[in-house]
Amino acid sequence: MTGTGTYQGDGRKWQSGPVTERVRPAVATDVDAMTEMASARRKQYAEYQPVFWRPAANAEQLHRPYLARLVEDQDVITLVSKDSDLFTGFLIATMGDAPRIYDPGGRTCQIDDFVVTADRWATTGPLLLRSAIEQAAERGAVQAVVVTGHLDRPKRDALRSCGLSMASEWWVTSWAPPTGP
């Protein structure tokens, strides 16, 4: 998928300028780059909320095989974007049903791991997201739910540019664990 700025039916522009990235399904050889980008994002998010987003000491060693399993799972949408040989982002979407107390009218596309190089959220972010949403719709999804940090402004702007809106917030408090007997 390449091109220039594209408009949604309601006139909102979801990407601007020339886009040379190519979006394709992730393959096993992408997992190391995906793991590295996810690790950098965890460190960034830990600055936003140091307890909730604190990476585990072995986060990369745990995340790499998890990502590898998702890339191999045909029921999971795993996409990467590259510009020439530069890895510019990835997105992982799983399909599921809404809790039984809600009825959105179909399945939900849950997007949790969605990372783009910092300077490309306005172009690469919407490119990956639109591709995932199209594939999810083909699989019966009627909505997408995307997780993002509250201070991740570039990602939030990319989500808004694709027509997403905030539906929920999580509020967190923390305290020191008890010590001693």
Query: CATH assignment of 21-161?
Result: 3.40.630.30
Q: Compute how many other C-beta atoms are within 10 angstroms of the C-beta atom of residue 152.
A: 17
* Three-class secondary structure assignment of 25-55: ECCHHHHHHHHHHHHHHHHHHHHHCCCCCCC
Residue 178: what pLDDT? Answer: 67
pLDDT at position 170 over 90:
no
Question: What are the residue ranges spanned by the domains of the chain?
Answer: 21-161
Per DSSP bridges, beta strands 77-83 and 22-25 are: antiparallel
Under 8 Å CB-to-CB from 167, ≥6 apart: which residues?
145
5-19, 43-57, 130-144: range with highest mean pLDDT: 130-144
Q: 163 with 8: CB under 8 angstroms?
A: yes
